[in-house]
Structure 1
Amino acid sequence: MYSKWDKWLFTQVDNTALVLFRMIFGLLIACEAFGSIALGAVRRLFIEPDFTFTFIGFEFLEPLPGNWMYVLYSIMGIAGLMVMVGYKYRMAIIFYAISWAYVYLLQKSSYNNHCYLLMLLNFIMIFLPANRSTSIDARLDDSYRKEHMSRWIYAFIITFIWIVYAYASIAKFYPDWLDGSFAKYLMSTRGKSFEILQHDWSHQAILYFGLFFDLLIVPFLLWKKTRWIAIIASIFFHIFNSIVFQIGIFPYLALSFLLFFFSTEVLHKRLIWKKAYYAAAEVIVPKTKPVILFCTVTFLITMFLLPLRHWVIKDDVLWTEEGHRLSWRMMLRSRSGYGTFYVVDKENGKKMPVHVNQYLSKKQQRSVQSKPDFIWQFAQKLEEIYAEEGKEIEVYADIKVSINGRPRKQLTDPTVDLTQEEWSHFKHHSWIMPSSLYEEKQLD
């Protein structure tokens, strides 16, 4: 006899949603790879810079020499198409997952949560039976074909999506979002081509729609009475983001998640009617059940806990950025900075300003003059460069930063030698000056 949980988790359901998601996902990751070549992202991020800013702890990663990064992205694009049609699926998705993790960890100058989400989805898709139907793999080997999957896959994907959206909403509960000032500032950067977005009513609409969409979208999709409202809202929300912010494949990837909320009968009838439909509802508990449960629960708990870590780190994450990444803090703030790095020759005590444009691309410069981890990494890089010339130096950074269009405030302590500082992912760094973001509001 099966337990209640076994019956719920391992009842077999039709796999049309997963099959369709595989097709869309494969097409989108192929577009991401080929588009990165065509739009110049590979050149800007890996070919032109003298070095890249890796995620801290992955400094051993280096771009492939010469033009080989173009070759890598080309093969990634082909692998994406193989995922789409389900040919040599496992090999293709493993290759893409490892390659994307490599390029993701190799540079963070163009970091956003969408890239992080894509990395996680790549690895998740390795373990899902997404090519068992409507694929070249299944056509070549009929014994491999299956028209069903375990219900736990639905539960896992929906829970993961819910975590992402929920934290995106929770992060918006901060003063600049709630008073509409960030929406106003963000829309002001869109220019005259989006004149309708420059009105106060549009800022208020963005404020509330953005907040409640992320908070309620998954519950509304799960409840049949509100599902179509949520679907229409999703289409509007993500197409709006695609047009206004031009954020690549992510809006369309987000829309593809809707497949897991539709009835499998509807999806089958409307989209893949030639596929055999499964309705037997057998209970098949695999021998790997303990491994499946351990891995899925561990992953979901990690996804739940990671975004909370900034609460145990001193000061405001909006200012320090400590705990900002890997936390689904999306479209939440704008940072810009300006300042100077100084090196002091330990032998003669001579202090010299650093011309960052001699070392960094324009995109890298924007991050190095506004984000603490980039500032720290650049100091370490300067120490390495001077060490190769046989010189021992100290590095100081005098950086002022503006958050959401505010006047610049001092971010770094200019008296601290950053070459002597260690970096930690889970604690505050004392050379980051205390936040004073809301002092002017409190005085008012």
Structure 2
Amino acid sequence: MKNILSQSKDPITLSFFRIIFGICFLWESIYLIKINFVTVFLTNPQVHFNYDFAEFVKPLPSGLLSLLVIGLFAASLFLIIGKYLKVAAWYLFFTFSYILLIDKAYYNNHLYLICLLAGFFAITSSDESLSVKKGSVKHIPNWHILLFQIQLVIVYFYGGIAKINPDWLVRMEPVKTILAQKAANSALDTILLSDAAVYFISYGGLVFDLLIGFLLFYRPTRKLGLIAALIFNIMNAWLFDDINIFPFMMMGALVLFIEPDTFRKFIGQYITSIKPIDASSKSTIPVDQKVVIGLAIYFIIQLSLPLRHLLFEGNTEWTGKAQYFSWRMKIQTRKTEQLEFAVMNYDKKEVIAVDLRSFGLNDDQLRLLSMHPETGIKMAKAIRETAEKKGLRNIEVKAKVKVSFNGRPAQMLYKDMDLSKVKEGVFEPREYVVELKE
């Protein structure tokens, strides 16, 4: 294993992906500024749905948050040119992770992946080529590239594992619903609504996710894997309107699976200014034992986290239990038909409807209340706290949230009970969630 990690590699493919990643993050930072992310998503809401392990993470004052977002833009530029690379990468990793940890409403698998990749760039040498760095280009140890490759394959593979469920395999959901939504605004409606399209995307997506890693790592099938991955991500970019930079970043990442020497010859035909690699570089580069141990621990965690839902009962897509950080991508759709919270004031025998917008909640947070039931508990506690400040005492906080899940008839999400008294935690069962009707 250590021999594989210490093999010397031309850094050009990693450097090329650094540029692609920097461009994608630049795009993301501009998007955050454009939608006024700091105000709408971080400072306006009076309630934030924190992760259990990050309850202490709170939003900074608006001015500081705005500076942090502008800093993301600047750090992306430095990443692209390869200047102050380590500082820029660490800044992206810590700042973007902090922003995402403020509220679960902003979680997205591709944003989680961005945080991880930013951390990878902080500990690897991707500025040896295609950068403003002076001097000859030096080889890098193979683990610098392997780190990215394995992580990307994990994303795909666990995305496939998550699809092995009755909804995906038998009911063809959420593919049917997604294609129907796409067909409504497409000239290809007849094709998209056909059984052939549903079966192709359902089973084709499953097979792709499970096999693409093997195709990319095995040299005889690598070209087939690269072509398949390009087609897959182009289709994702067309099908989904909410994944932003993800398919483009994943297409750019395919360069990591191309032999660096081959890529250098190819790109050298078009960019004559590429520096030649230092021929005196060693064939192997010693790898510290601490690095080996660190990589082993990291990937054990990455391989274990997506499986933790097996410790809990119920459909994890419905209950939301152990769903984060698990690469469970695009395997559910929900349509919210009712979203109401109310305070039951038993002293005056009255029901007080709660205006959720009065808490400054944005659309993403409201959507989360019907997607991840634990957020309803946090909301109910905030409502109780507000009511008690107004002098109400003998009260309960209940919710009527009616949701259609993966094409099923709409049903209630929360049981008829005082949600503000529910104990919610990492290992607590979600007994307050109504059982999903099959």
Q: Same fold (TM over 0.5)?
A: yes
Q: Is 48-57 or 300-309 further displaced after alignment?
A: 48-57
User: Following the alignment from structure 1 to structure 2, what is the Cα–Cα distance between the partners of residues 375 and 13?
Assistant: 50
Task: Name the aligned partner's letter for residue 61 of structure 1.
Answer: V
Residue 345 of structure 1: how far off its partner (Å)? 4.2
Task: Name the aligned partner's letter for residue 427 of structure 2.
Answer: F
Residue 346 of structure 1: how far off its partner (Å)? 6.9
Residue 281 of structure 1: how far off its partner (Å)? 4.8
User: Following the alignment from structure 1 to structure 2, what is the Cα–Cα distance between the partners of residues 204 and 165?
Assistant: 19
Matched, 1:84 2:75: no
Look up the SS of the partner of 1:95 in the other structure.
Answer: helix
2:143 paired residue number: 152
Return closer, same or farther for 1:278/1:388 CA change in 2, 3 Å cut-off: farther
Residue 57 of structure 1: how far off its partner (Å)? 4.0
Matches within 5 A, 1:120-131: 120-131=116-127
Matched, 1:93 2:92: no
User: Following the alignment from structure 2 to structure 1, what is the Cα–Cα distance between the partners of residues 197 and 310?
Assistant: 32
1:263 paired residue number: 259
2:155 paired residue number: 164
Matched, 1:430 2:397: no
Task: Name the aligned partner's letter for residue 329 of structure 1.
Answer: R
Residue 43 of structure 1: how far off its partner (Å)? 4.8
Task: Name the aligned partner's letter for residue 25 of structure 1.
Answer: F
2:232 paired residue number: 237
1:313 paired residue number: 312
Q: Deviations over 1:372-400 (max 9, x none)?
A: 02211111221332344354443222323
Residue 317 of structure 1: how far off its partner (Å)? 0.8
Matched, 1:117 2:116: no
Q: Is 352-361 or 91-100 further displaced after alignment?
A: 352-361
Is contact 1:370-1:400 (8 Å) kept?
no
User: Following the alignment from structure 1 to structure 2, what is the Cα–Cα distance between the partners of residues 25 and 284?
Assistant: 26
Return closer, same or farther for 1:51/1:265 CA change in 2, 3 Å cut-off: same
Matched, 1:185 2:177: yes
User: Following the alignment from structure 1 to structure 2, what is the Cα–Cα distance between the partners of residues 57 and 388?
Assistant: 28
1:401 paired residue number: 403
Is contact 1:45-1:52 (8 Å) kept?
no
User: Following the alignment from structure 1 to structure 2, what is the Cα–Cα distance between the partners of residues 408 and 369?
Assistant: 12
Q: Percent identity, please.
A: 28
Residue 82 of structure 1: how far off its partner (Å)? 0.5
After TM superposition, the runs of 4+ consecutive aligned structure 1 residues lying more than 6 A away are none
TM-score, normalization: structure 1? 0.89
Unaligned runs of 5+ in 1: 439-444
TM-score, normalization: structure 2? 0.90
63, 85, 88: which one aligns with 2:59: 63
Is contact 2:38-2:62 (8 Å) kept?
no
Return closer, same or farther for 1:362/1:12 CA change in 2, 3 Å cut-off: closer
Residue 100 of structure 1: how far off its partner (Å)? 0.3
Return closer, same or farther for 1:148/1:388 CA change in 2, 3 Å cut-off: farther
Is contact 1:309-1:426 (8 Å) kept?
no
Task: Name the aligned partner's letter for residue 410 of structure 2.
Answer: R
Aligned residues: 425
Matched, 1:203 2:204: no
Q: Is 57-66 or 28-37 further displaced after alignment?
A: 57-66
Return closer, same or farther for 1:434/1:423 CA change in 2, 3 Å cut-off: same
Task: Name the aligned partner's letter for residue 340 of structure 1.
Answer: E
Look up the SS of the partner of 1:166 in the other structure.
Answer: helix
User: Following the alignment from structure 2 to structure 1, what is the Cα–Cα distance between the partners of residues 391 and 120?
Assistant: 47
1:106 paired residue number: 102
Is contact 1:13-1:278 (8 Å) kept?
no
Q: Is 328-337 or 224-233 further displaced after alignment?
A: 224-233
User: Following the alignment from structure 2 to structure 1, what is the Cα–Cα distance between the partners of residues 347 and 237?
Assistant: 54
Residue 118 of structure 1: how far off its partner (Å)? 1.0
Return closer, same or farther for 1:349/1:57 CA change in 2, 3 Å cut-off: farther
User: Following the alignment from structure 2 to structure 1, what is the Cα–Cα distance between the partners of residues 322 and 96?
Assistant: 22
Unaligned runs of 5+ in 2: none
Q: Is 80-89 or 185-194 further displaced after alignment?
A: 185-194
Return closer, same or farther for 1:50/1:153 CA change in 2, 3 Å cut-off: same
Matches within 5 A, 1:412-431: 412-415=414-417, 417-431=418-432
User: Following the alignment from structure 2 to structure 1, what is the Cα–Cα distance between the partners of residues 284 and 222?
Assistant: 28
Is contact 2:173-2:407 (8 Å) kept?
no
2:342 paired residue number: 342
Residue 88 of structure 1: how far off its partner (Å)? 1.2
User: Following the alignment from structure 2 to structure 1, what is the Cα–Cα distance between the partners of residues 144 and 428?
Assistant: 36
241, 245, 262: which one aligns with 1:249: 245
Is contact 1:323-1:426 (8 Å) kept?
no
Return closer, same or farther for 1:357/1:133 CA change in 2, 3 Å cut-off: same
User: Following the alignment from structure 2 to structure 1, what is the Cα–Cα distance between the partners of residues 266 and 75?
Assistant: 28
Matched, 1:222 2:213: no
Q: Deviations over 1:324-364 (max 9, x none)?
A: 11110001101233243222347656442323233333332
RMSD of equivalent CA atoms: 2.3
2:327 paired residue number: 328
